[in-house]
Structure 1
């Protein structure tokens, strides 16, 4: 990171930011063509969990190249610099990660991953799922191998 004073290295603080975020922007690339898509997600034990339709651009790209990048941000706030444009700014905390994506196939693991994802947005930890919904969804696990966090303006 270019500005060391903005770097967060405490993994507990980074994990708090991952659990606080609402949206994950997933970056994929195939044949030198990048693609970024905002997604709901869940985080646990150095993995992200996402859900998707079983078909579509992100699934095809993931199959062709399972290396992915993701970004989340929290606590964003505009800093009004007044009349001078270059005095404006943004307070934020962002986490960027890289990892290997795969589609979970085992039904028990799919339910566990969906519970993690649902818990991201709820105080509950267990949920019920209808078979027709489990059959229709692709659940993606991203095993994170690199994380960085930047805190600016705080």
Structure 2
């Protein structure tokens, strides 16, 4: 299945890199847990980084009830959400043709505030996206904590992905230059976990962290 292609989500620069199928968009979203939310208030644009979780065509975000992001997004203003992964620096012979290998997704929609009864599901989805199974290991939010938190559900109205892979593309004449060219790959690496200084003496390694360490990213 594909998202409808319109002027709002159509990839215009190097359109051959554009993807509109839901699988491509979802894979990029699910590979990360930090997005950037763009919105406008009284003519002033803002872009705010935040964590998120996805469940089907719904993206969940949360924040303090009085934050600018939450106060304005819950009014139903148009929102643009982006997620980007850098896979490598592409070094060409010409500085003009330097590039990056990347996977990016852009999502358009409007947000709705979740009720007190719905909040916990949204928070669960965000937690699961950051570290699977951690929610069940943790103390659940208290009523006061839930009251101090706004949870929004952003229904994906339109979306697109843009992906670049491969090596540099130089001008034909530049291939004769004795200049090194190629790709410097990037990857996310998990390091050894560091226990909190005040860890309870009976606390053992969390199974969610153990699973993360064994699976990698």
TM over 0.5: yes
- More RCO (CA 8 Å, sep 6+): 1
Per-residue CA shift, 1:67-99, capped at 9, x if unaligned? 2111001243222235x3213111111100110
Quote how far apart the aligned CAs of 1:63 are.
4.2
- Alignment RMSD (CA, Å): 1.8
What is the CA–CA distance in structure 2 between the aligned matches of 1:76 and 1:70, rounded to whole Å? Answer: 20
Residues 48 and 143, structure 1, Cα contact 8 Å, conserved in 2? yes
Where does 1:7-26 land on structure 2 (aligned, <5 Å)?
7-26=18-37
Where does 1:100-111 land on structure 2 (aligned, <5 Å)?
100-107=110-117, 109-111=118-120
Per-residue CA shift, 1:110-132, capped at 9, x if unaligned? 11111111111112175432333
Larger Rg: 2
Residues 33 and 53, structure 2, Cα contact 8 Å, conserved in 1? no
Flag structure 2 segments of 5+ consecutive residues without an equivalent.
1-10, 167-217
Which residue is 1:140 aligned to? 152
Flag structure 1 segments of 5+ consecutive residues without an equivalent.
none
Residues 109 and 154, structure 2, Cα contact 8 Å, conserved in 1? yes
User: Which has the larger strand fraction?
Assistant: 1
Name the SS for the 1:12 alignment partner.
Answer: helix
Which residue is 1:88 aligned to? 98
Name the SS for the 2:29 alignment partner.
Answer: helix
What is the CA–CA distance in structure 2 between the aligned matches of 1:4 and 1:87, rounded to whole Å? Answer: 17
Length-normalised TM-score, structure 2: 0.64
Where does 1:71-82 land on structure 2 (aligned, <5 Å)?
71-81=82-92
Residues 29 and 65, structure 1, Cα contact 8 Å, conserved in 2? no
Residue correspondences, number: 152
